[in-house]
Structure formats: structure tokens, C-alpha cells
A and B are shown apart, each in its own frame.
Chain A
Amino acid sequence: MQPKYRFSETQFTVSPLKHSATRLIEIASDQGGSHQVNAGIRWLDHCHGELTVNGVVRHIYAVQDDQTLHVHMDGKVWQVDIVDEFSDAGGASDQAESGLVKAPMPGVVLDISVKEGDQVEEGQLLMLIESMKLQMEVKASLSGTVLLLGVDGVGASFDKGAQLVNIRPHDESLESGRKGGE
């Protein structure tokens, strides 16, 4: 296996090549190209270390939370996700997602204006959600039929990215996938 990470929409393979006094690491991105760096780390405590990459020394703080690595480096915080090589690559096709409305933030459901089977228009209000005292209207991204509601009901809480509503687009031929003008 090769360690793979995702940062800012790009996937990288970070392969340790050699580990003696220093480390030789190869970094390749899914956009093509790879190069090698010389690196070393001296851990000052469980999350604070002195990282040297190609001779440049930086202080870093790094903490892992399940599949996410939080790193403080160069005065800001970065988030790198660990890619699991062993899980199924690829997810739902883009077309299947077109009617999917995902939660833009974690929160709770305040009000639901539609039910399964309803016909909705693009821009129609579907539900009202709230997070940290910020209310937001959730609207339909396209016209279609409400396939299912991803939340149990008013008061239900959800995470960021959770599927709130799935709408089956009126345009049945998903292959062409476009409404109106090409």
C-alpha cells in the first residue's frame, strides 16, 4: 500500500522510499508528476515537532482525528484527509448527484416544507435549517419530484455534507443530463 492523502481537492501519493538517518520521500499528485524530498522530524512532544524538508526547518503541530490530519504550520492551520486505499474508489456518478441536496453545514432541522412525492420547482423552499444561531433556507437545485427526505423530521440533527433531500429531476434521460439549452 502507499499512503495517500487528499488536500484541497487533489489526491497525493506520499511514498516513503528510504528511512535511515534522514528520509527520502516521493510525492506524486493525481494530476501527474512526482518528485522526491529529503525530510526528517524531531518530535518535541506528542504533537509538536521540528520538521525539516529539503533543509528548511519548520515547527509543526499535528493531530490526527480519525481520518483527518490537522496540521499547524507556517502560521496557519491545514487539513489533510487520509485516503483509504482499501475502500471502493469512486462514488455516485455526477448525474445521480444532481438532484441531491446536501447540508452545507452541520445543524438541526427547523421546518420541512415538502414531503416525498411532491413536485418541486427549481428554487423552491424545501426546508429551514439552523446551525449556531444561523438560519438558512434550503432550496431545490432543480425541478423534479422529491424522492426522499434524508432527515427524520423537525428537530433532527445532521452533519455537514449529509443528504437532506434527494430530488429526481424531471428530465428522465440522465445521460443527456441537461435541461433546456445545450
Chain B
Amino acid sequence: MRRIESRLNTHSEEFQKYRAHNRKLVSGFQQKQEEARFKRPQRDIDRLQKQNKMMPRERLELLLDPGTPFLEFSSLAGSMAYDGSAPSASCITGIGIVGGREVVINASDSSVKGGAWYPLSVKKIIRALDIAIENHLPVIHMCDSAGGFLPLQSELFGDKYMAGRIFRNQTQLSKMGCKQLSLVFGNCTAGGAYIPALSDYSVIVEGTGAVFLGGPPLVKAATGEEVSVDELGGARMHTSVSGTCDYFAKNEREAIAIGREIVAQWEQKPKTQIQRETPEDPWYDPEELYGIIPDDIRKPFDVREVIARLVDGSRFSEYQPDYGETMICGFANIWGYKVGILGNNGVLFNDSSLKAAHFMELCNQNKTPLVFLQNITGFMVGKEYEQRGITKDGAKMIMVQACSEVPKFTIMTNGSFGAGNYGMCGRAFDARTLFSWPNSQISVMGSDQAANTLVTIKLAQLKRQGIEPDEKELAEIRNEVLGNFENQTSAYYTSSEIWDDGIIDPVDTRNALGISISASLNAPIGDARYGVLRL
């Protein structure tokens, strides 16, 4: 495999400009993330201390093995919802190493509204468990939650992919043989009680841990019985009388120690073997990524320059380099794992769609995972292309992509508009993990197009009401629509709504992919099979 020859001039004005722009975006993101992770009202910090509870991230750091990474998901979930009162959607999820085992972590953040479940909290937990199911990973739950956030109960209870799905996922994990451990640090009330109950192993902390279907106030209201939290569902009772929890811990540290010991004796099933070599750092400096992505979503860039800063040794074996040139396909290694990479250099035409489909078939045949570097405004439109069957060709690409048996990983590096999102494995297509760069944008059509259309619609609406805005009002309307639009297409909105698994610094992409690929190999890779391809 030959090294990509970068044609980038890292001293050019353009490079410097882009670099400054992206560095600013990244530091803005990191600041938001820092706040979401750590900024808490003093009274919440005090409350935890008085209850003798550790801060949730302290628990996490104590749980994880030394010298190992932790890939956190959706740190900015809920950041643009609920008036910002639920940072990180009051929970922490991710993939880490405990006792040498790859595990998915689902931890309540009791420093946020007592760990209460907002609708997005439920979605985030479900997503974490879906990741566990798809990748056959065990799960460690760190339970400390006040339960569902009552004012928003209608958004988190009744539907198929709401609270119940958490417990349904737990049962499926168990059925698959993926182990679950619950460390009960606080309340597990009502539905929440099922998390430890449906876990294979559970540890409960004396004094603070409590598991019950109804808490004392509810019990009193329902039957008049008066009982304390500890009597009703405390550690002593559940570990010696009811058998609902397995291990009694005097304090949180002991609980974590017991948990680690439990995990350390879990079997380590053999992982799916794919081609693997010794890892190597990229030859080009990943920091250069900041200077590659333009400051304007409409400006193009060569995705090969991005690939060169992501893959081992910057080596890339390009597939069909002279055909379908708006689609870049090729093989490379990431952290030693052989992967097939697809990246966009423009809109998708017939040839590029077909090339992508064929390339993905090759990868499926070879059991090579797929990595999608999204920067796509869509498929080519127009009479010539329709006649040549661009819709069919796009459909073939989507069919092969969606039926792929190999694990898929998506990075939203820039734009993700319209059907291009589908072909390039957007959220609906079950990438094992999907991350966004801070500069990325997503919407059903390109921003200019969309903005203009929306303004047109708004004007028509006003006209029906008999209003004719003047120049100034027109400009205001345009700005408002654009503003809203930009808000809703930004990576922050995407991440807040959990349409991705988190925003990441471009420089962190390599590690995120390496961990994701490794985690995915806990599940088998099926033989290639597709639906009907409209030829």
C-alpha cells in the first residue's frame, strides 16, 4: 500500500484561515462539553457530598482500568433542549475497559436533577444498549436515578422506543449471553428498579442504594403503609432477604471494587478475526485536519487529504482511482485493522454510485469493515442523469450499503444533505457508531436551497394572511429563517437530539474509530447477502 501524497500547502493563507476557523470551532465545542460534563450548581455538588456519594465521573474513573481509553457517547445530548437544565441528558454512556473486558457503560449522572430521566436520557440509554446489542458487548450500569422526569412523562413513557425499550434491550442482551452488571449507588425506582433486576449481577451500596417498584411516598399513598427507604429496598434487605441484589457494599469504593472483581472473571469470548497488522501512526500530522476543512460548507476539499491524516502510515490503496472520481474508495488500516473507506469528492453520479456499490460488495465479501467519511450534498439531478438511471444507481448503492453484514462506521466530516446521507450510511442505516465533527451540518437539502425554499414558503404563508413584507422585513424574515435553519442543521442540534453518538474533535477520530472497530468485532460478521438490486 502506498502512502497518499499530500498536495496540501500547510503554509498557505487558505490553510491558515481554515485552521484558525476549525480550531475555534473545536475549542468552542470543548468548552461546551466541559460545561456539560462538569458545571453543576453548587447545591447539587453539596447534596451529593452530604449523601456520601462520589461524583459520577469519579465513579467512572475508579471503575475503568488504568492506561485505557474511554469513548464517551453523546456528551452534548440534551444541550439544546429543556433550557439546558439536563446537561449530557443526566447520564454518561460509552465504551471502556474494565478488568480487561470491553464493556458498554451506562451511568446515571445524579449531579443533574438527581439523575432523573428526561426523554433524551431515555433515548441515550436505549442507544447505548443498542450499541451493546449490535456489538455483543457486556454492560455495566451505574444506577443512581430519581426516576422519570414527571413533567415530561408523555415523551418518555408510552411509545415503542421509550422507557420500556431500555428494559426490553436488557432482556435481549441477556438472551444473547451478554452479561450485565448493575452497581446500585442510589435510587432505582419504578421502572428503574428493573435495571438491577434484569442484570445478571448486582452490587448495592449500604445506606444510599435502594431498589423498589414504588418509593415510600407512593407506598403510603397506595396502601397507607409507612416504611423507610432502607427498610423498603435498602442494601441489607435486598442482599439478605429478597435476593434481588447479589453483593452488599459498605461504601461506593467497595462497590466498585466488587464490580471490577466480578467483571474480571467474565469469560472473554473469542472475537471475530479480521485482517490486522501492527498499528502505526499516520505519516501526516492529524492536526493538519483543521486546515483542510474549509470555513464555508459549500467549498470543496479533497477527502484524500483527510484520509491521509486518519489512517496508519497515511497509506491508502485506492480502488478504481480513475473511475467515478467523485467517490473515493479504498483500503487502509486504522489502528491496524484493515478497513474499506468511502469518502466524497463532490456529488454522486451514476459511475460513482456504482463504484461505491461494487466496492462495498468487495468489502462484504472480504469481511472488511466499512468507514464512511460523509461530505455529501446529494446525487446529481437532471434529465441526462435520470435517463441514465441515477435513481436506480443510487438505490443500488443504498441497497448494498444497508444490507452490508460487515460493521459500518460513519463520520460526518462536513455536509450531509438529502439522499446522499442515505447512501453514505446515515443514522437510519445502523452504523455501529456515528460521530460528527463540530463543523458538520445535516439537513434534507443543501442550506442555500433549503433556506430559499423556506423563505418562499413563509412569504406565501404571509401573503395568504394578506401581509406583504417590505425590504427590511424581508431581510429580517430571511435572517430568522436562516437562523433557525442553521440552528437545526448544526452538529450541536444533531448531537443534542442524539442523531449521532457525539461530536468529536477531528483529531480524535482515529481513536474513536479504532475503539469502535475493536468493539464491533465482538459480534460475528455474517456472509454477504443483499436484497434485489435494480440493475
Q: Are A2 and B253 in contact (CB under 8 A)?
A: no
Which residues of chain A in 1-57 are interfacial with respect to chain B, using CB atoms and an 8 Å cutoff? 1-3, 15-20
B285 contacts chain A at the CB level, 8 A cutoff: no
Question: A85-B253, A86-B253, A88-B251 are known contacts. Are A19 and B66 too (CB-CB below 8 A)?
Answer: no
Q: Are A16 and B66 in contact (CB under 8 A)?
A: yes
Contacts of B476 in A (CB 8 A): none
Which residues of chain B in 56-103 are interfacial with respect to chain A, using CB atoms and an 8 Å cutoff? 61-67
Q: Are A1 and B65 in contact (CB under 8 A)?
A: yes
Q: Which of A3, A17, A88 contacts B253 (CB 8 A)?
A: A88
Which residue of B is nearest A18, CB measured?
A: B67
B254 contacts chain A at the CB level, 8 A cutoff: yes
Q: Are B257 and A86 in contact (CB under 8 A)?
A: yes
Contact with B along A75-106 (1 / 0, CB 8 A): 00000000001111000000000000000000
Q: How far is the CB of A87 from chain B (nearest CB, A)?
A: 7
Which residues of chain B in 212-258 are interfacial with respect to chain A, using CB atoms and an 8 Å cutoff? 251, 253-254, 256-257
Contacts of A88 in B (CB 8 A): 251, 253
Q: Give the distance in Å from the alpha carbon of A88 to the alpha carbon of B64 in the complex.
A: 19
Q: Are B65 and A17 in contact (CB under 8 A)?
A: no
Q: Are A15 and B254 in contact (CB under 8 A)?
A: no
Q: Are B67 and A19 in contact (CB under 8 A)?
A: yes
Residues of A within 8 A of B (CB): 1-3, 15-20, 85-88
Q: Is the contact region of chain A dominated by helix, strand, or loop, or is it mixed?
A: loop
Q: Are B251 and A1 in contact (CB under 8 A)?
A: no
Q: How far is the CB of B58 from chain A (nearest CB, A)?
A: 11
Residues of B within 8 A of A (CB): 61-67, 251, 253-254, 256-257, 260, 279
Q: Give the distance in Å from the alpha carbon of A169 to the alpha carbon of B149 in the complex.
A: 54
Q: Are A86 and B256 in contact (CB under 8 A)?
A: yes
Q: Are B253 and A15 in contact (CB under 8 A)?
A: no
Q: Give the distance in Å from the alpha carbon of A90 to the alpha carbon of B436 in the complex.
A: 44
Q: Are A1 and B254 in contact (CB under 8 A)?
A: no
Q: Give the distance in Å from the alpha carbon of A87 to the alpha carbon of B251 in the complex.
A: 9
Contacts of B62 in A (CB 8 A): 1, 85-86
Contacts of A20 in B (CB 8 A): 279
Q: Which of B63, B66, B251, B257 contacts A15 (CB 8 A)?
A: B66
5 interchain residue pairs of minimum CB distance? A16-B67, A86-B257, A86-B253, A1-B62, A2-B66
Q: Are A87 and B67 in contact (CB under 8 A)?
A: no
Which residue of B is nearest A85, CB measured?
A: B62
Contacts of A3 in B (CB 8 A): 66
Which residue of B is nearest A15, CB measured?
A: B66
Q: How far is the CB of B235 from chain A (nearest CB, A)?
A: 17
Q: Give the distance in Å from the alpha carbon of A18 to the alpha carbon of B256 in the complex.
A: 24
Q: Give the distance in Å from the alpha carbon of A18 to the alpha carbon of B61 in the complex.
A: 17
Contacts of A15 in B (CB 8 A): 66-67
Which residue of A is nearest B257, CB measured?
A: A86
Contacts of A18 in B (CB 8 A): 67
Q: Give the distance in Å from the alpha carbon of A40 to the alpha carbon of B254 in the complex.
A: 33
Q: Are A1 and B64 in contact (CB under 8 A)?
A: yes
Q: How far is the CB of B36 from chain A (nearest CB, A)?
A: 24
Contacts of A16 in B (CB 8 A): 66-67
Contacts of B61 in A (CB 8 A): 1-2
Q: How far is the CB of A18 from chain B (nearest CB, A)?
A: 7
Contacts of B260 in A (CB 8 A): 1
Q: Are A17 and B254 in contact (CB under 8 A)?
A: no
Q: Give the distance in Å from the alpha carbon of A87 to the alpha carbon of B254 in the complex.
A: 7
Contacts of B63 in A (CB 8 A): 1
Contacts of B251 in A (CB 8 A): 88
Q: How far is the CB of A146 from chain B (nearest CB, A)?
A: 31
Q: Give the distance in Å from the alpha carbon of A17 to the alpha carbon of B67 in the complex.
A: 5
Which residue of A is nearest B65, CB measured?
A: A1
Contacts of A19 in B (CB 8 A): 67
Which residue of A is nearest B258, CB measured?
A: A86
Q: How far is the CB of B97 from chain A (nearest CB, A)?
A: 11
Q: Give the distance in Å from the alpha carbon of A18 to the alpha carbon of B69 in the complex.
A: 10
Q: How far is the CB of A159 from chain B (nearest CB, A)?
A: 25
Contacts of B67 in A (CB 8 A): 15-19
Which residue of A is nearest B280, CB measured?
A: A20
Contacts of A1 in B (CB 8 A): 61-66, 260
Q: How far is the CB of A51 from chain B (nearest CB, A)?
A: 17
Q: How far is the CB of A24 from chain B (nearest CB, A)?
A: 9
Q: Are A87 and B253 in contact (CB under 8 A)?
A: yes
Q: How far is the CB of B280 from chain A (nearest CB, A)?
A: 10
Q: Are A86 and B254 in contact (CB under 8 A)?
A: yes
27 A-B pairs within 8 Å (CB atoms) are namely A1-B61, A1-B62, A1-B63, A1-B64, A1-B65, A1-B66, A1-B260, A2-B66, A3-B66, A15-B66, A16-B66, A16-B67, A17-B67, A18-B67, A19-B67, A20-B279, A85-B62, A85-B253, A86-B62, A86-B253, A86-B254, A86-B256, A86-B257, A87-B253, A87-B254, A88-B251, A88-B253
Q: Give the distance in Å from the alpha carbon of A18 to the alpha carbon of B511 in the complex.
A: 13
Q: How far is the CB of B66 from chain A (nearest CB, A)?
A: 5
Q: Give the distance in Å from the alpha carbon of A15 to the alpha carbon of B64 in the complex.
A: 12
Which residue of A is nearest B62, CB measured?
A: A1
Q: How far is the CB of A181 from chain B (nearest CB, A)?
A: 38
Contacts of A2 in B (CB 8 A): 61, 66
Q: Give the distance in Å from the alpha carbon of A150 to the alpha carbon of B254 in the complex.
A: 28
Q: Give the distance in Å from the alpha carbon of A91 to the alpha carbon of B279 in the complex.
A: 46
Q: Give the distance in Å from the alpha carbon of A31 to the alpha carbon of B256 in the complex.
A: 26
Q: Give the distance in Å from the alpha carbon of A148 to the alpha carbon of B66 in the complex.
A: 43
